[in-house]
Structure 1
C-alpha cells in the first residue's frame, strides 16, 4: 500500500460564511484538523473551553486568539501555540485565506 500525498495548502475550500474544518486523522487519542478561515471570528458570546489539550500552528495568513483573561495572541505564518485543557479562548480575528493545523490530544 502506498500512502496518499496531501498538501495542507492545496485545494482550499471556496470562501464561505463559516470556517472549514477538515479532519485529516482521528483516533481515540488524537484528532488532526486543517482549519481554513477567511475573516471569520467566534461569536461575541462564544468561548472554547475544551477538556483536552490542543496544539495549533498557523500555516498561512494571520489569526488572533483572545483569552478569557483579555490577553490577545496574534499568530503569523509558522507560529504555534499550545492551548492546555480548559484554556478558555476564542478566535478574535482571521485574515483572508488563513490556514491552521490543529492537533487535539485526548487522554
Structure 2
C-alpha cells in the first residue's frame, strides 16, 4: 500500500480569476478536495444544489455562504466548518479579497445526510 500525503497550504494559487478545485482523495461515495478562492463569489441568482452532501472547513481566509430560505449569511473563518446536506441550496456570497481562502471540502453520497 502506497501512502499519499501533502499539505493544504502548499503552493496556494493567488490572484486567479477562477476558483481552483484540487481533488485530494476520491473513493466510491466520497470525494475530498481543496478549494482555493481569491475573492470569488457565486454568480447572482446561482444556487448550488447537489445530490451529495458536503462538509466544508475554512483553513485560511474567510467566506460567507447563503442558504436558500434562511435570512443572513453564514460567515466562516479559519477553523469554522459547515455541513450542507444533500439538496441544501446554497451560494457563496463572498470570499476574502485580501488573501486566499483555502477550503477543505468533503463530498459524500446523498441520501444519508
Mark yes or no: TM-score above 0.5.
Answer: yes
Between the two proteins, the alignment pairs up a number of residues equal to 107
Which sections of structure 1, spanning at least 5 residues, go unmatched? Answer: none
State the Cα deviation string for residues 12-50 of structure 1 (Å, max 9, x = none).
Answer: 124211100001011111000100001000000210011
Q: Please report the TM-score for the alignment, with normalisation by the length of structure 2.
A: 0.88
Displaced runs of 4 or more, over 4 A: none
Under a length normalisation based on structure 1, what TM-score does the superposition of the two structures give? 0.93
Shifted more, 16-25 versus 2-11: the winner is 2-11
Q: Does 1:80 align with 2:81?
A: yes
CA RMSD after TM alignment: 1.3
3-state secondary structure, aligned to 1:3:
coil
Counterparts in 2 of 1:1-107, with a 5 A limit?
3-69=3-69, 70-95=71-96, 96-107=99-110
Q: C-alpha displacement at 1:2, in angstroms?
A: 5.0
Larger fraction in strand: 1
Structure 2 CA distance for aligned equivalents of residues 39 and 14 of structure 1 = 10
Checking the alignment, whether the CA contact within 8 Å between 2:52 and 2:87 is kept in structure 1 is: yes
